[in-house]
Homo-oligomer: A and B are copies of this chain.
Amino acid sequence: MVGRNPTPAIGAEQRLKELGITLPPPPTPFGNYVEGVRIGRLLYLSGMLPVIDGKPQVIGRLGAELATDEGRRAAEIATLSALSAIRAALGSLDKVTAVAKLGVYIATVGDFRDHPKVADGASDLLAKIFGPELLSGRIVLGVASISLGLPVEIELLVEVTD
């Protein structure tokens, strides 16, 4: 349950290439803050949204306008944006050694209950890119609303190495 990933056989940057994934440009803040702050071995990433080049990619809430699959896709886009922010902060994704916390916040209406399936959009992508040996903690919550009417927001607290 508890551990770290000191010497992965293949790095995340190499895996990204093999998967043919190109990261979007790093996100830009919507206010007076920055996208990431490093304190010692911890990098805290600001809330990451399914927005590319300032354009919302999906609008709506789960349980109303959006189906579970669309929420899952929004979680994937927000995660790609987060990875781009991490690369901008550290120079390379290979410096990530664990994900202490992946927060997945989903805008929901009514009695939507499939939160884990939406959140797996983020978790499965992280596992694909960092490898199954990467440990990730996770919390998933259904919130009332997200900036700009977006359906998903991602939060990451990662362990990094130099």
Task: Please list the residues of chain A having a beta carbon within 8 angstroms of any beta carbon in chain B.
Answer: 1-4, 29-47, 63, 85, 88-90, 98-103, 105, 107-109, 111-113, 115-116, 119-120, 123-124, 126-127, 135-149, 153, 155, 157, 159
The distance in angstroms between the C-alpha atoms of A48 and B88, with both chains bound, is: 31
**Partner of A143 from B2, B30, B109, B143 at Cβ < 8 Å:** B143
Residues of B within 8 A of A123 (CB): 31-33
Q: Are B153 and A147 in contact (CB under 8 A)?
A: no
Q: Which 6 A-B pairs have the closest CB atoms?
A: A142-B145, A47-B139, A33-B138, A32-B123, A115-B147, A30-B116
Residues of B within 8 A of A101 (CB): 37, 44
Residues of B within 8 A of A2 (CB): 34, 36-38, 43, 89-90
**Partner of A33 from B36, B136, B142 at Cβ < 8 Å:** B136
- Known pairs A2-B89, A40-B40, A115-B145; list 4 more (Cβ under 8 Å): A37-B98, A46-B138, A116-B147, A144-B144
Min CB distance A109 to B, Å, is 7
The distance in angstroms between the C-alpha atoms of A108 and B153, with both chains bound, is: 16
Min CB distance A51 to B, Å, is 12
